[in-house]
Amino acid sequence: MKEKVVLAYSGGLDTTALIPWLKENFDYEVICCCVDCGQGNELDGLDERAKLSGASKLYIENIIDEFCDDYIMPCVQAGAVYEHKYLLGTSMARPGIAKKLVEIARKEGASAICHGATGKGNDQIRFELGIKALAPDLKIIAPWRMTDVWTMQSREDEIAFCQAHGINLPFDASHSYSRDRNLWHISHEGLELENPAQSPNYDDLLVLGVTPQKAPDKETEVSITFEAGVPKTLNGKAMKVSEIITELNKLGGENGIGIIDIVENRVVGMKSRGVYETPGGTILMEAHDQLEELILDRDTMETKKKLGSQFAQIVYEGKWFTPLREAIQAFVESTQQYVTGEVKFKLYKGNIIKAGTTSPYSLYSESLASFTTGDLYDHHDADGFITLFGLPLKVRAMKMAEVKNANK
């Protein structure tokens, strides 16, 4: 009986070419697994294509709700943003995909898992760290790093390889943007984006929305309610998190929200330039932050901000299945107990404009914050506070003056 390998299958040219390549070079029975994180119509025709290419079986595993509840929301609640801009769309999906690949490998009794991530990118790290953490006994096959066996270097090479194996596929050799899509975002790399001096060709590039310049010249009003840090309703309608993100993608895309152009530092040590569209995610994170402003005390917010940045780096580096991620997430979850309330805002030409936030747990006191004197705040108390708060500065200044005078 042949050994089985589970192939992380997207249906694209790379992973389609991998099916006959794995059979030819390793004599594996190839079982394809496509993990649906919200790729939409990219999944059309996958079953026929996988079977045509020689796979014995194809699993299409829908984890959209799990992706939203178990991966997206912890990052939203943590305020996890990598290098001030990237909302981790690809990074968050990879641990969920790795987990599902392991589940299918166990179910099928496979001895190996194969992925088509390149040897220069982050995804090879994310997939493999996830697999190692969950199934250290499984072999991992990374063809793009096996240059002695994987000799194809271009789309033309891959198409010719498929055709030589009797596989005629609806792909051409023309180069296009390298994209990754799921419910949270879509990323774009390649072509003019490889030169940071060039402006993105947004007319050809954008998929989920339009630029702010092409957005309607009118405001779109939105309201979201949260309970314990989780969105529950959108514009008064109760929805699952996945449904809220889907609708926010539509509203955000129409209004030019969530387009970023970033040169980021990859885990492998190089810089890469990409454009990310995250319309719904940008709105959801802003709404969550807006609510936390009212509810969290200063010290908790400061600590959470630092840990959120660290959480983003952990996720970006593929370290989801680690004690540190679990520990930081536990802290974040403890801060979400009272993050309940309603957030209102207006979308307008790439902007998210506040329109009012309310919460039964708000720490904002109008009587304290106003310029009039309230019962809880005596202006005279500030005298002693400033004296003690500024004491180290005063002592240092006195000491420096003493030394300066002594040296005259």
Task: Return the active site residues.
Answer: 14, 94, 123, 178
Euclidean distance between CA atoms 301 and 52, whole angstroms: 54
Euclidean distance between CA atoms 73 and 176, whole angstroms: 32
Residue 319: both structure tokens together: 């370290």
Euclidean distance between CA atoms 318 and 131, whole angstroms: 10
Residue 193: both structure tokens together: 């984006």
CA of 290: how far to CAs of 223, 284, 390, in Å? 12, 10, 32
Euclidean distance between CA atoms 83 and 75, whole angstroms: 14
What DSSP state is assigned to residue 31? E
Q: Which neighbouring-strand residues pair with 348?
A: 351
Residue 234: both structure tokens together: 């959108």
- Please state the φ and ψ torsions of residue 369, each to the nearest 5 degrees: -80, -20
- The set of residues, in sequence order, having a beta carbon less than 8 Å from that of 248 and lying 6+ positions away, is 222, 234, 279, 280, 281, 283, 284
Residue 38: both structure tokens together: 């919200």
- Residue 371 CB neighbours (<10 A): 4
Euclidean distance between CA atoms 286 and 345, whole angstroms: 10
Helix axes 13-26, 155-164, angle to 10 degrees: 50
Euclidean distance between CA atoms 368 and 379, whole angstroms: 11
Beta strands in 84-216 (DSSP E): 112-114, 139-141, 178-181, 186-189
SS3 content of the chain, % helix, strand, coil (to 5): 45, 20, 35
Q: Which has the closest alpha carbon to 368: 354, 379, 380, 358?
A: 379
Residue whose structure tokens are 């023309």: 174
- The set of residues, in sequence order, having a beta carbon less than 8 Å from that of 69 and lying 6+ positions away, is 241
- Please state the φ and ψ torsions of residue 95, each to the nearest 5 degrees: -65, -35
